[in-house]
Amino acid sequence: MADSPDPTPQTSPAPAPEPTPPTLPTPTPPTAAAPQKDRPVYVIGGGPGGLAAAHALRAQGVRAVVLEKSDRVGASWRRHYDRLRLHTTRRLSALPGLPMPRSFGRWVARDNVVRYLEKYAEHHELEIVTGVEVSRVEPTADGGGWLLHATGGRELTGSAVVVATGYNHTPYVPDWPGRDGYTGEFLHAGEYRNPAPFAGQDVLVVGVGNTGAEIAVDLVEGGASRVRLAVRTAPHIVRRSTAGWAAQYTGVLCRRLPVALVDRLAGPMAKLSVPDLAAKGLPRPDTGLYSRVKEGSIPVQDVGLIDAVRKGRVEVVAAVEGFEDGKIVLANGDRVGPDAVIAATGYRRALENVVGHLGVLDGRGRPVVHGARTPKNAPGLYFTGFTNPISGMLRELAIDAEKIAKAIARDAGSRNPSRIPR
């Protein structure tokens, strides 16, 4: 499931030093004479999915080179707000080949996730080149690989490509009427770090996904004078853990069950574990929990929202429709004038420029396949980390990494029978 904050941020030791990045392989010209064995597999993105894929490929005897546009691995994790903790358990969030230390606790803090990713790259001696952004991927002229156009005019030729640029890539803000003329403080949730700058202020948080819910609670506990949460569609809310049983365990058990069955089971469970907040503006959803997951909306895991709403510390209001005369216009016609607006309105995958011309994205910009499956019209092109599964993102990234590596190794072996995996 998604990540979540914890009321008590954890202070972590200083991060381990970043391993010295290797030199990029000499680009192989895209000609028919280029031997496949000289072409590495390029992994685009140095987050959890990219690092896991690179290690899994190495374990199969396949050279993998990670291309990361920032200067360090785990860049997106470094930008998350301070109190963030995983919603998923430490044991079910480790990547292949390296468990997370027990000292991190059950719900791992953001800083420790970063430390783990740094250690993972160092431990597995992964080939990582930082400061290189891939702008376009296309088939080589010989049809036997992929040509990557990257920073500085580089053209890199790989035998296969794993795209792991992340689910939360580019902040998305709706095109609300009048927003350009709004003079109050406005920021996307991706820019939020902690509640200190908002102490004593009236803040409107827009969006009730896990991020919006957690930021609202963080603001309340951090001294904001008033916190309102604008909600368009009432979310499913689940307890992160009940009597020691993590919600993720249920997610894993339900992962392969029929959607209708999970929907029927989830309703009664929610009534037992979550109070009715309809009087406070959060009615129970009229659509099934797993049906919503399949549409891309995972449940909100409670780390304080239920109590905050029940006690009136977080006020639920209608969705934002626009901005007018310094006020925010809500869907029910109300106008509010907070000191600051935080838009927890999600992210876009931003894959269109990189692979959109290949016909491998659906109407919402998501890959048509993921994991070990490769598009029929683009063999050798793999995607990982572009779904938000109920069983936990990191867990599924780890599983996908090994499946992708085995698929690539099988393909390489069929082209080069003399190749012996390590």
Final residue before a domain boundary, out of 346, 377, 396 = 346
pTM of the model: 0.87
User: Are residue 84 and residue 177 in the same domain, yes or no?
Assistant: no
Please state the rounded mean pLDDT for residues 3-21. Answer: 41
Burial bucket for residue 154 (CB in 10 Å: 0-12, 13-18, 19+): middle
User: Are residue 122 and residue 195 in the same domain, yes or no?
Assistant: no
The C-alpha atoms of residue 80 and residue 100 are separated, in whole angstroms, by: 20
User: Are residue 112 and residue 225 in the same domain, yes or no?
Assistant: no
Q: What is the CATH number of the domain that holds 327?
A: 3.50.50.60
Q: Classify residue 278: in a domain, yes or no.
A: yes
Q: Classify residue 422: in a domain, yes or no.
A: no
User: Are residue 62 and residue 137 in the same domain, yes or no?
Assistant: yes
Q: Classify residue 102: in a domain, yes or no.
A: yes
Final residue before a domain boundary, out of 285, 319, 346 = 346
Residue 97: predicted pLDDT: 97
Number of structural domains, the chain? 2
Residue 79: predicted pLDDT: 92
The kind and range of the H/E element at 74 are none
The C-alpha atoms of residue 261 and residue 246 are separated, in whole angstroms, by: 20
- Domain span at residue 256 reads 172-346
Is the dihedral angle over the CA atoms 302, 305, 308, 312 positive or is it negative?
negative
User: Are residue 302 and residue 176 in the same domain, yes or no?
Assistant: yes
For residue 168, CA distances in Å to 24, 94, 126, 344, 387 come to: 27, 20, 23, 12, 10
User: Are residue 176 and residue 299 in the same domain, yes or no?
Assistant: yes
User: Are residue 176 and residue 317 in the same domain, yes or no?
Assistant: yes
Q: Classify residue 421: in a domain, yes or no.
A: no
Could you read off the pLDDT of 314-338 as tens digits, one per residue?
999 999 999 999 999 999 999 999 9
For residue 151, give the 3-state DSSP assignment.
helix
Is residue 28 predicted with pLDDT exceeding 80? no
Q: Classify residue 420: in a domain, yes or no.
A: no
Final residue before a domain boundary, out of 327, 346, 365 = 346
Beta carbons of 241 and 378 less than 8 angstroms apart? no
Burial bucket for residue 256 (CB in 10 Å: 0-12, 13-18, 19+): exposed
Number of Cβ within 10 Å of residue 265's Cβ equals: 16
User: Are residue 377 and residue 263 in the same domain, yes or no?
Assistant: no
Q: Give me the residues paired with residue 226 across strands.
A: 202
User: Are residue 104 and residue 215 in the same domain, yes or no?
Assistant: no
Could you read off the pLDDT of 345-382 as tens digits, one per residue?
999 999 999 999 999 999 999 999 999 999 999 999 99
Is residue 279 predicted with pLDDT exceeding 90? yes
Residue 11 banded pLDDT, cuts 50, 70, 90: very low
The C-alpha atoms of residue 218 and residue 212 are separated, in whole angstroms, by: 10
Compute and round to an integer the Cα radius of gyration of the chain.
Answer: 23
Beta carbons of 392 and 92 less than 8 angstroms apart? yes
User: Are residue 324 and residue 339 in the same domain, yes or no?
Assistant: yes
User: Are residue 304 and residue 367 in the same domain, yes or no?
Assistant: no
Q: Classify residue 312: in a domain, yes or no.
A: yes
User: Are residue 332 and residue 367 in the same domain, yes or no?
Assistant: no
Mean pLDDT over all residues of the chain?
Answer: 90
Eight-class DSSP state of 6: -
